[in-house]
């Protein structure tokens, strides 16, 4: 073995073991959330005092257990996860019996005949995209494969799909092409299932879709905030962002603060729970002169109506949940770039008074300043 072989061997071993460790955490997270859903449904059906808690069960439960990552919304997800994937125990029975032998034998063994759920791993090697309802045995094979290949963040997106056949399609698409969560969302939002159904050449259309998909990378496994909540550790900043975005936001934060004019740094990657989905605002400042929050969202891609609409959603959410009576409406700044061009857009919440708009633009960085900043930064990456 020469020196370069030594370097390569150590790197490969480290990468594979890191990936294996991340996968193990995700498997246990999925098992935990499925079990939580199971216990909640069991209580709702058989709990001696279930009527006492009624519709407020999940809120009361969240307050009592005080487990990070198991708030009311998370508990709803767990409940829905169990109801949509009741076969999950067939795939995880041996694992959870090993981890929680006493608890499982007391609460689950009678409900599920564990000895009847033996899954053949080799049977999952060939997974055809279904155009029919899967029989129970094949369904268990798919679930077993998903448990070891798919993160809980994938399941969060899948359980939003009420149509069973459509959900099965995206399950198999994820397994066959190793979709990242971001790519799975994109495929669902772009109506891939519906477009494929309209195709006259099913196999060719699916092949074309698969070729355009970027497979999930090892580092994608640990980007989910569910992962860090499960481990009870603080989330690293920008867990969803690329190296280029990290550098841009690092410098943008410093650039804004150096401008002065009353900017006070408040948050980075500010997490918002809107409905049952988490969103992240890149940078949040409070302007002590304007007495308003300034939300900055950066996209290293071309501008779209979706970006502007998303920023306006953040602004309205902030106005409803964070703005005090003495505050002015929040303002948003959208920075978009596709390497060679830059775009800066402002959005102001419910401000139809010209005086407010003029005052804001006087104190905030100008479009010219922000455009020059982006262009200078991007030259570092070209």
146 class by beta-carbon count within 10 Å (0-12 exposed, 13-18 middle, 19+ buried): buried
From CA 188, how far away is CA 172, in angstroms rounded?
Answer: 13
d(CA 187, CA 273): 22
3-state secondary structure of 40: helix
Q: Output the pLDDT for position 356.
A: 60
pLDDT in the model for residue 131: 42
- Note the pLDDT of residue 100: 61
- Please provide the DSSP assignment of 156-223 as one string: HHHTT---HHHHHHHHHHHHHHTB-HHHHHHHHHTTHHHHHHH-SSHHHHHHHHHHTPPBPPGGGGG-
Instruction: For residue 352, give every residue at least 6 positions away whose Cβ sits within 8 Å of its Cβ, in sequence order, or none.
Output: none
Question: What fold is seen in the domain 243-379?
Answer: Trna Endonuclease; Chain: A, domain 1 (3.40.1350)
- Looking at residue 43, its pLDDT comes to 87
Which among 79, 69, 218, 92 has a CA at the least distance from the CA of 155? 79
Q: What is the pLDDT along the chain (382 residues), one digit of tens a residue?
A: 776 887 888 888 887 877 777 777 788 889 889 988 988 998 888 877 877 777 788 888 988 888 878 888 889 999 999 999 988 876 766 666 666 655 555 555 455 444 443 333 333 333 344 444 446 777 878 888 888 888 898 999 999 998 988 999 899 888 888 888 888 888 888 788 887 776 666 666 666 676 667 666 655 656 676 776 777 666 554 455 556 677 778 888 888 888 777 889 988 888 888 877 778 888 999 998 888 899 988 887 777 777 888 888 898 899 888 888 888 888 888 888 765 567 777 777 665 545 566 667 677 887 788 888 887 777 765 5
Count of alpha carbons within 13 Å of 280, Cβ hemisphere only? Answer: 15
Q: Domain coordinates of the chain in residue numbers?
A: 3-230, 243-379
pLDDT at 125: 39
3-state SS, residue 368 = helix
Q: Rounded to 5, what percent of the chain is helix, strand, coil?
A: 60, 10, 30
- What is the Cα–Cα distance from 124 to 176, expressed in whole angstroms? 11
User: Quick one: how many helices (H) and strands (E) in the chain?
Assistant: 17, 5
What's the pLDDT score for residue 82?
Answer: 92
Q: What is the pLDDT of residue 211?
A: 66
Calculated CA dihedral for residues 267, 273, 274, 278, nearest 10 degrees: 90
**What is the pTM (predicted TM-score) of this model?**
0.64
Q: Supply the pLDDT for residue 338.
A: 65
Alpha-carbon Rg of the chain, whole angstroms? 24
- Note the pLDDT of residue 107: 54
């Amino acid at each position: 073995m020469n020196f370069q072989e030594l370097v390569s061997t150590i790197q490969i071993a480290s990468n594979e073991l890191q990936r294996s460790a991340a996968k193990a955490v995700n498997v246990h997270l999925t098992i935990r959330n499925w079990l939580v859903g199971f216990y909640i449904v069991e209580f709702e059906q058989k709990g001696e005092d279930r009527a006492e808690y009624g519709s407020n069960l999940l809120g009361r439960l969240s307050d009592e257990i005080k487990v990070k990552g198991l708030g009311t919304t998370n508990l709803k997800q767990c409940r829905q996860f169990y109801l949509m994937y009741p076969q999950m125990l067939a795939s995880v029975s041996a694992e959870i019996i090993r981890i929680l032998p006493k608890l499982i034998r007391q609460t689950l063994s009678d409900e599920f005949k564990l000895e009847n759920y033996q899954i053949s791993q080799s049977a999952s090697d060939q997974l055809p995209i279904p155009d029919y309802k899967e029989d129970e045995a094949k369904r268990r094979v798919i679930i077993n494969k998903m448990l070891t290949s798919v993160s809980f963040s994938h399941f969060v997106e899948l359980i939003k799909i009420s149509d069973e056949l459509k959900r099965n399609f995206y399950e198999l698409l994820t397994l066959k092409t190793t979709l990242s969560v971001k790519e799975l969302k994109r495929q669902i939002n772009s109506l891939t299932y519906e477009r494929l159904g309209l195709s006259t050449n099913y196999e060719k259309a699916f092949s074309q879709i698969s070729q355009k998909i970027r497979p999930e990378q090892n580092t994608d496994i640990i980007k989910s905030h569910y992962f860090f909540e499960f481990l009870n550790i603080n989330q690293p900043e920008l867990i969803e962002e690329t190296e280029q975005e990290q550098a841009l936001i690092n410098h943008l934060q410093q650039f804004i603060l150096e401008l002065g004019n009353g900017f006070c740094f408040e948050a980075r990657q500010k997490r918002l729970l809107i409905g049952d989905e988490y969103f992240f605002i890149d940078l949040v400042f409070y302007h002590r002169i304007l007495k308003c929050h300034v939300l900055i969202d950066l996209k290293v891609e071309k501008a779209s109506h979706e970006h502007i609409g998303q920023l306006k959603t953040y602004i309205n959410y902030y106005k409803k949940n964070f703005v005090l009576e003495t505050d002015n409406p929040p303002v948003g700044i959208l920075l978009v770039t596709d390497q060679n061009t830059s775009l800066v857009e402002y959005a102001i919440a419910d401000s139809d008074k010209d005086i407010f708009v003029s005052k804001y633009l006087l104190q905030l960085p100008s479009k010219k300043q922000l455009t020059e900043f982006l262009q200078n930064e991007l030259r570092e990456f070209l």
